Amino acid sequence: MDRKSWQDKVGYHITPDYGLMNDPNGLIKFKDDYHVFYQLNPNGFVHKNKSWGHMVSTNMVDWEQQPIALHPDSWFDKDGVYSGCAIEHEEKIYLFYTGNVIDDGVNKSYQCGAVSEDGQRFEKLGPIMEHPVGYTRHVRDPKVFKSPFQADEWYMVLGAQTNDLKADLLVYKSSNLLEWEFLYNLRSDHDTELGYMLECPDLIKIDDQYVLIASPQGLKKEDYRFQNRYHSGYFICDFFEDGSIKLLQPFKELDHGFEFYAPQTFRDGNQNILYAWMGVMEDEQERLVPTIESSGWLHNLTIPRILELKEGELRQQPAAVLSQLREGKGNKMTFDKAGHFPLQSLQTEIILAFEKETDQLNLTLDRLFSLSFQLEEGVLSFTRQSWVTDEKEQRKRLFDGGMKEVRIFIDHSIVEIFINGGACVFSSRIFSRAGSTNELSFEFSKKTSSMSLQVFDLKTVDFSAKAINYV
Ligand code: FRU
């Protein structure tokens, strides 16, 4: 099989120019620009040499590639500038990240800072705290946020592993961003099953509700949950001035597709925006992702998503600015029971809206993927073709109630599906060895009077570096 014949390009998702990308890092709106940093191995396709790649945008649609912001070139981060966050303070961007160091095969981690006045050149500040006692070297991914209780105070959450190999979450506080005091660890008063390690925590407030987003490793696979290698989800919680957290509900996954991990959010006005890494594959699958050979890049980020809290659950909606990707007014058609439509391109947004909720849907994009729902079974499933075995593989979740709307963003080998206003999301890579006719076909309940289908071609974004004049 000639891998060059795979669909290899993408039009509007953030991918590396060359190399391997993983977690989104340091998301921030600073002055008038959006900054997206990301874990990047600029030299190859394995999880090594992690640096912070960097992109800048004025609208989260058009992006300009920047030079690498942080290289693993200091004693405290020589084996990887791992994940972290960004905060604005006194007109500067402060970055917080984990320096990974492997000496004689033993991992060490240092929580580090960096600062920039222009949002382009970053000066490393080195380690900013001692390693906590009682924890293995797996302590990482600092996420800092302004205190909701006191001006000029910040909290930091960190993912951690206890010496008896249990996942934990640590909370620190600072009044100058440089000195940090340990306040609290989640396991001290919760015995919730969090696996053996918790990565990329993020504590946010939506409306008046705190939400703890995290990526635990080692949760047991269930029929309708935790089907991927690692998982990302959230707890609705309370957060108190002494740094303590009270989890109020069980952990819920954010996305039920094959590729979604390590989400991070940032605040833009009164909105919480989320980006995630569309990766977290099994090793063999990752090694064989077709874009490695065909075009020299591996993995991508999701589109930006707005978080909302409805009926005690997080909803993710594609950011409204993404309508700027649309070319033309879009085709709008109405169907009764079933139909098909040949897509002109695989760089498309598709909206299916049912006049009355449907209790059944089968939607297929040729050999690339299918989505299937039966209200009676209460199950929603997403099926794609494996690029390793060429067999079908499936992700399923329980789903109550009928289906009102399905919104799909396709970008060649990437699909993100938002159901019922983002109540359920599936994000996955899609490749078909046999190619695709791009024929979209669907069939829905006879009880539903009609379905409207709207299809927009989406533009190709130029991600290349342009001269930005920083003063
Ligand atoms: C999550 C993660 C983080 C770590 C980074 C290293 O995917 O493992 O915990 O900081 O990736 O690239």
pLDDT digits (tens, 9 = 90+) for 430-442: 998 888 899 999 9
pLDDT at 331: 85
Token pair for 275: 């980006």
How many whole angstroms from 250 Cα to the centroid of ligand 1?
24
Range 246-255 contact pairs with CB under 8 angstroms and sequence separation of 24 or more: 247/186, 247/190, 247/192, 247/212, 249/312, 250/192, 251/192, 251/194, 251/216, 251/219, 252/313, 252/314, 253/225, 253/226, 253/397, 254/213, 254/314, 254/316, 254/425, 255/316, 255/425, 255/426, 255/427
Label residue 376 left, alpha or beta by phi (over 0 means left) and psi (-120 to 50 means alpha).
alpha
The pair of structure tokens assigned to 32 is 């008038």
- The C-alpha atoms of residue 95 and residue 86 are separated, in whole angstroms, by 4
Of 369, 363, 373, 364, which is closest to residue 403 (Cα–Cα)? 373
Residues 12, 459 contacting (CB under 8 angstroms): yes
Query: Which of 237-246, 372-381, 456-465 ranks highest by mean pLDDT?
Result: 237-246
| pLDDT of 19 above 90 | yes
| Angle, CA 413 vertex, CA 284 and CA 396 arms, to 5° | 70
- Check residue 1 and give its pLDDT: 36
Q: How far is CA 118 from the centre of its chain?
A: 26
Average pLDDT over residues 415-427: 97
pLDDT band at 392 (very low <50, low <70, confident <90, very high): very high
Give CA–CA dist 55/51, Å, rounded. 13
Distance of CA 83 to the CA centre of its chain: 13
Cα 141 to ligand 1 centroid, rounded to whole Å: 7
Check residue 2 and give its pLDDT. Answer: 41
Average pLDDT taken over every residue of the chain:
94
Look up tokens 């060429």; give the residue. Answer: 390
Q: List, in order of start, the domains of the chain with CATH numbers.
A: 20-318 (2.115.10.20), 327-458 (2.60.120.560)
Average pLDDT over residues 310-336: 95
* 19-30, strands of its sheet edge to edge: 64-65, 51-57, 33-41, 19-30, 297-298
pLDDT of amino acid 401: 87
Residue 188 and residue 467: Cα distance in Å, rounded? 50
Centre of ligand 1 from the C-alpha of residue 448, in Å: 45
Rounded to the nearest 5°, which phi and psi values hold at 283? -55, -45
Distance 139 CA to ligand 1 centre (A): 11
Counting from 1 in the atom list of ligand 1, the atom nearest the Cα of 230 is 7
Per-residue pLDDT band at 380 (split at 50, 70, 90): very high
* Residue from 382, 317, 282, 323 nearest 59 by CA: 323
CA atoms in the 13 A half-sphere facing the CB of 183: 18
77 lines ligand 1 (CB under 6 A): no
* 98 close to ligand 1 (CB < 6 Angstrom): yes
pLDDT of 454 higher than 70: yes
> In whole angstroms, what is the distance from residue 109 CA to residue 101 CA?
6
Name residue 184's amino acid.
Y
From the list 435, 261, 432, 439, the residue with the least C-alpha distance to 350 is: 439
* pLDDT of 64 strictly over 90: yes
CA 337 – CA 83 distance, rounded (Å)? 47
Q: Does the structure show a pLDDT above 60 at 129?
A: yes
Mutate to test the pocket of ligand 1, among 82, 97, 161 (most ligand atoms within 8 A of CB): 82
Residues tagged active-site: 23
| Neighbouring-strand partners of residue 280 | none
Return the percentage of the chain with pLDDT > 70, whole number.
Answer: 97
Q: How far apart are CA 316 and CA 309, in angstroms?
A: 9
Express each pLDDT in 222-241 by its tens digit: 989 999 999 999 999 999 99
In this prediction, residue 104 carries a pLDDT of 86
Is the minimum distance from the CB of 82 to ligand 1 under 6 angstroms? yes
- Report which ligand 1 atom has the smallest distance to the Cα of 50: 12
Sign of the C-alpha dihedral, residues 278, 224, 229, 190?
positive
Q: Is the pLDDT of residue 145 over 70?
A: yes
Asked if residue 334 lies in contact with residue 450, where contact means CB atoms within 8 angstroms, the answer is yes
Least confident of 43-47, 204-208, 355-359: 355-359
For residue 122, pLDDT beyond 80:
yes
Q: How far apart are CA 136 and CA 140, in angstroms?
A: 11
Instruction: Say whether pLDDT at 114 is over 90.
Output: yes
Q: Please tell me if the CB atom of residue 236 comes closer than 6 angstroms to any atom of ligand 1.
A: no
DSSP character for 214? E
- Per-residue confidence band for 468, with pLDDT thresholds at 50, 70 and 90: low
